[in-house]
Amino acid sequence: MPSLDSHDRRILEEVQRDASLSIQDLADRISLSRNATWRRLQRLEEDGYVRGRVALLDRDRLGLGLMVMIAIRTDTHSAGWLKKFHEAVRTIPEITGVYRMTGDVDYLLQAVVPDMAAYDRLYKTLIGRIDLSDVSSSFVMEEIKATTCLPLGYV
């Protein structure tokens, strides 16, 4: 993996905050020429440091104000079950994050829905697609910090 220099890190810091920056604005922010900035950004994308550029949408404005964390336990750990689980959670659009965990919980899912009735439909869809031994949900009352920016001080 190629090493990153200070200009590369600055480019990554800026584009993860605002991917809509023009190349000229990005170049101005990192004090590099437009062409050098463009070449570096292209290389960072080709090398997989930048996986994509997206727009962050406002959940509340879209009527998706209820966020739920779903803790899942399973008694089955076969390759077939795992494949079926992956397919199930990937095809449910309300599920925005899926994490395999250590400890008492096997998987932690993050989902967004408009209301409790929509969560109930999500729950029924999930348990209808895959055998689970326990499903426990917690509803987010306040979102204190949510960011897509990664800490680049370790790079």
Structural domains in the chain, sorted by start = 6-46 (1.10.10.10), 66-139 (3.30.70.920)
The rounded distance, in Å, linking the Cα atoms of 12 and 19 is 10
Task: Look at residue 2 in the predicted model and tell me its pLDDT.
Answer: 60
At CA 113, angle to CA 109 and CA 104, rounded to 5? 20
Q: Which residues pair with 97 in a beta bridge?
A: 110
Residue 91 pLDDT grade (very low, low, confident, very high; cuts 50, 70, 90)? very high
The rounded distance, in Å, linking the Cα atoms of 73 and 65 is 26
Query: At 6, which amino acid appears?
Result: S
Q: Please give the order of strands across the beta sheet that includes 95-100.
A: 95-100, 107-113, 66-73, 134-139
Q: How far apart are CA 133 and CA 75, in angstroms?
A: 6
Rounded Cα–Cα distance for residues 126 and 130 (Å): 6
Is the pTM for the entire model greater than 0.85? yes
Query: How far apart, in whole angstroms, are the C-alpha atoms of residue 79 and residue 53?
Result: 33
Q: What is the mean pLDDT of residues 112-123?
A: 98
pLDDT of residue 155: 85
Confidence grade of residue 51 (pLDDT, cut at 50, 70, 90): very high
pLDDT tens readout for residues 55-76: 999 999 999 999 999 999 999 9
Residue 1 has pLDDT above 60, yes or no: no
Per-residue pLDDT averaged across 31-49, rounded?
Answer: 97
Q: How much of the chain, in percent, has pLDDT values that exceed 70?
A: 99
Compute the average pLDDT of residues 136-150.
96
